[in-house]
Amino acid sequence: MSAIIRCRGVEMTYRQGINLVRAVRGVDLDIESGDFATLSGPSGSGKTTLLSLIGGLDRPTAGEIQVDGEDITGLSADALADLRRSKIGFVFQTYSLAPVLSAEENVEFTLRLLGRPRAERRERAREVLAEVGLAGLEDRRPGQLSGGQQQRVAVARALAPRPAIVLADEPTANLDSTNAEELIALMARLNQTSGATFLIATHDARVIAHARRRIEMTDGRISADVRVEGPGAT
């Protein structure tokens, strides 16, 4: 497999009051196409910052990041936005759903930004909502759904444009044990069926147990990188 994400000498430094914080320090990392990988470490280790840099939400202060063979570090804001819409799906801890939109409309949103026709958007939204187990709930707004169901809508929205990469930041943090386990199993299955590469920043040992690639960060650096052999890592 080839690397769909490549980081070389990536640094992220910023000021916090009078202090200079080195959140990411000289990271070299390759994520292979089709991987199901976790990025773990204590609070302040740099994992969320690195995920944001890979997703083009922030720019590194040094180094190079390639996504699907393209160096994103020099792209304009508009080009980065286009890349995120077309190649990267995001799943956040807080769901980030529009409360006035139905589940179907939330999933359609990124497809609308990509200029897809209405009929195509609706068909794809219903298809991916069924894939995450929400068939029949397309017309419900987020306030009418449980936390676990809202996070499934967020996963469906991320997958709707058929992205090459899905980046998830603490996706189970606001879920109870049952919903967390179901979400982990769902994401692992979708990784297999969609072929999308999953990179998940997490504290959750249950998520890490499902990963085929387990990357740890400490003080802004990669401190461990283990590949688990065989299907269905546990």
Residues 183-200 have pLDDT tens digits of: 999 999 999 999 999 999
Helix, strand and coil in the chain, % to nearest 5 = 35, 30, 35
128 occurs within a structural domain = yes
Please state, in angstroms and as integers, the Cα–Cα distance from residue 93 to each residue in 5, 170, 202, 227, following that order: 22, 5, 10, 25
Structural domains in the chain (count): 1
234 occurs within a structural domain = no
**Any idea what the CATH number is for the domain that residue 207 is in?**
3.40.50.300
69 occurs within a structural domain = no
Residues 125-154 have pLDDT tens digits of: 999 999 999 999 999 999 999 999 999 999
206 occurs within a structural domain = yes
8 occurs within a structural domain = no
Extract the tokens encoding 128. 């991916």
1 occurs within a structural domain = no
Q: Where residue 234 falls among pLDDT bands split at 50, 70, 90?
A: very low
Cα 123 off chain centre by: 23
Domain of residue 188, residue span: 35-57+76-227
17 occurs within a structural domain = no
pTM of the model: 0.93
